[in-house]
Amino acid sequence: MSIDATVPTAETTLTSSAAPPRWAVRAARLTPWVVLPSGLWRIALVLGYPAGYTDAGFEDFQSIGAKAWMLALSVICELAAFLTVGLVRPWGEVVPRWIPLIGGRVVRPMAAVVPAALGALVMTALWADVPWWWTYPHDDMTHTGNLVVGILYQPLILWGPLLAAVTVSYHRRHRTARRRADITV
């Protein structure tokens, strides 16, 4: 039996034996929920509900392209947020077997940590000004719509920090597992 060092599998690479801390599991599970309100608001726009826009402001969202973009953005954001759960679940350590070509392979820790850390930085920077939503002019929205949309987008400020915290936890668990492996070898 030959072992190919370039293609790690569950049999050839040590995965984390430490369970994720309870706070990390909770943070990971919370992440898709903080993204959901803004996605539901965009889906309301796709379905033809003005969702706080004036008649003139809502016209921009009537094209097929705009609707496709808002629906795609909602789905992509929710899926990206759900990936945070992988940092505390077994499928964040070993790719599920049903995935073609890579199923059953061990996830190299840095292959999860680097994109997750970059994602945390991007999400933190992207949503950093959301708390000041109400200080920006929104002439194409009704007063109530401006208030509601601001409230629906506020949870997004948590996305980056939650992802960062779960990423640090994942990295620490796998660094500790690697150290244990180095000591026993």
pTM score of the predicted model? 0.83
| In contact, 29 and 85? CB cutoff 8 Å | yes
Tokens of 92: 């964040």
Residue 185 DSSP label: -
Beta strands in 65-157 (DSSP E): none
Tokens of 46: 């796709």
Q: What is the pLDDT along the chain (185 residues), one digit of tens a residue?
A: 444 444 444 444 445 568 999 999 999 999 999 999 999 999 999 999 999 999 998 998 899 999 999 999 999 999 999 999 999 999 889 988 998 998 889 999 999 999 999 999 999 999 999 999 999 999 999 999 999 999 999 999 999 999 999 999 999 999 865 655 555 55
CB atoms within 10 A of CB 43: 16
